Structure 1
């Protein structure tokens, strides 16, 4: 039985790999306590600005997370630090009526991949940074274990 659990974990791990991703990165949240001042940044390179890209939030939370949703503010900046966009987004992590978790789960951990931008065209090739800040008015926000982004070519399939 133990061996089956290990095999299932390995299958789950590899099933979550994004082979079409141009960039994928996570930042762990220390002790599952996400402070408002902790705003992880993710810097990536766009080589071809003529193609559209899909950008996703990556999030891992514990089943003990106290809300069905999560408000995040995101900032997109170019290589010079110029802010191209800032926006408040709501991620729905659980069904508000039933409390059933969305995302892929293993034990009491759930991974979410939520669309941030569809068919986005970057202004020019180069480095870009996305910074993410929790906006839930609870400081620290408990049971969020990691946050990140995935950037993939829009023509890619998952």
Structure 2
């Protein structure tokens, strides 16, 4: 019950900060075991293709995660399923030398928000899907609790 309260507080804290977000979604990884075949997809709608967007990975891991980094492959597809791009990214979850966790932590859970694409302009208005696969070659990858994305309107630098 205590853990549920902590998760609820984390969700409230995380949900209250993204005023420019046009889309934000998480997929929980069942039992913290991320299988390679489990590739969460996130479908969102872009109504203004003239507007630049920042796209972020959202990730939650426990302190028991066995590596300092995480390799992910992402696939961006348009409404017809045509792949616009795919790319392998490395996310640094902990300091490689000290093991100190990055991100915001509460108890043994840490939340991360990593910039995936800055000032990205979608080709046209419509629905897009981002699919994310873990690429660590450990199957299942343990202690990853959830993964997601945030799409925000990019704000001009001041």
* Fold-level similarity (TM above 0.5): yes
Query: Partner of 1:91 in structure 2?
Result: 91
SS in 2 for 1:91: strand
Partner residue in 2 for 1:132 = 132
Residues matched between the structures, number: 151
- 1:49-86 deviation digits (Å, cap 9, x = unpaired): 00000000000000000000000000000000000000
- C-alpha separation between the residues in 1 aligned to 2:39 and 2:106? 26
RMSD: 1.9
Q: Which runs of 5+ in 1 are unaligned?
A: none
Indicate which of 12, 15, 34 corresponds to 2:13.
Answer: 15
- Name 1:35's counterpart in structure 2: 35
1:47-126 superposed matches below 5 A: 47-126=47-126
Point out where structure 2 has 5 or more consecutive residues left out of the alignment.
Answer: none
Hey, what does 1:152 align to over in structure 2?
A: 152
Q: Distance in 2 between matches of 1:21 and 1:105?
A: 22
What SS is found at the alignment partner of 1:81?
A: coil
The alignment partner of 1:16 has SS state of helix
Separation in 1, partners of 2:20, 2:109: 24
CA deviation map 1:72-131 (0-9, x unaligned)? 000000000000000000000000000000000000000000000000000000000000
TM-score, with length taken from structure 1: 0.91
Task: Report the Cα distance in structure 2 between the residues aligned to 1:104 and 1:156, rounded to whole angstroms.
Answer: 26
CA distance in structure 1 between the partners assigned to 2:84 and 2:23 by the alignment: 19
In 2, the alpha carbon distance for the partners of 1:35 and 1:23 equals 25
